[in-house]
Amino acid sequence: MSTAAAYAVPDLAAHVVQAASSSPWAFFSYFLDNRARTLDWLWAHTWLSVVPVLVGLVLALPLGWLARRYSFVYPPMMSITGVLYTVPSIALFVLIPPLLGLDPLSPLQVPIALSLYSTALLVRVVADGLAAVPQETIQAATAIGFRPVNRFFKVELPIAVPVITAGLRVAIVANVSIVAVAGTIGMTNLGLLFDEGFKLSVDTPYYPPIVLGIVLCVLLALLLDAFVVALDRALTPWRRAVGR
């Protein structure tokens, strides 16, 4: 066997292995062999994507109201939340434990970081949504006897729902992608599929776990986005009536 042929045989074998690992059956077989832990990771990923957004919304509602109600609060609050949202996720994951006195591998560091991201994004959304409520509507609600708190929950907030749900869609989809980054620090989620794929690609690329992780993240983002759209429709029936 010539020298060229001797080098060609390993290269051909590597291409055969790579092609086999890239086939649809390889992805399906990998999922079947690892479906239990993959579904566990999917559930953890869903929890980490949704709960911080809910926490962020609860925090953003009063902060957004303050920014809308008092004009001098708006600029500094938007500056602070804007800077916070630009901090890289992996850096925030690492900074949270020492700042809060948590264990470096605490399961709370990722939810806390994502809650901060969600709050930073949603504060501006809530403030802008409330600012979009017509003053005539607020004055009419006040004239017929609505107290400030009742007016907020029964008049201003419902009218601001379309703007807020648009922000929720962005926050949830962003969280789905950011959560995957947490797999690099060992947190249980779909990001572990990417980590496993890279570890198994020492000699030749091994794509099944990587592609499976991408597909599941995209599907999860689409499903959560569809849920928020359905929630928006359910909370704003008056928009459908106006559109008729």
Least confident of 14-23, 48-57, 226-235: 14-23
pLDDT at 74: 93
What single string gives the DSSP state of each residue in the chain? --HHHHHHHHHHHHHHHHHHHTSHHHHHHHHHHTHHHHHHHHHHHHHHHHHHHHHHHHHHHHHHHHHHH-TTTHHHHHHHHHHHHHS-HHHHHHHHHHHHT--TT-TTHHHHHHHHHHHHHHHHHHHHHHHTS-HHHHHHHHHTT--HHHHIIIIIHHHHHHHHHHHHHHHHHHHHHHHHHGGGGT-SSTHHHHHHHHHH-SSS---HHHHHHHHHHHHHHHHHHHHHHHHHHHH-HHHHHHH-
Residue 4 predicted with pLDDT over 90: no
Provide the pLDDT confidence category of residue 126 given band limits of 50, 70 and 90.
very high
Q: Whole-prediction pTM value?
A: 0.83
Residue 13 predicted with pLDDT over 50: no
Domain over 18-235 is classified CATH 3.40.50.2300? no
Residue 1 predicted with pLDDT over 90: no
Q: Regarding predicted confidence, which is higher, 60 or 94?
A: 60
Q: 87-97: per-residue pLDDT in tens? A: 888 888 888 88
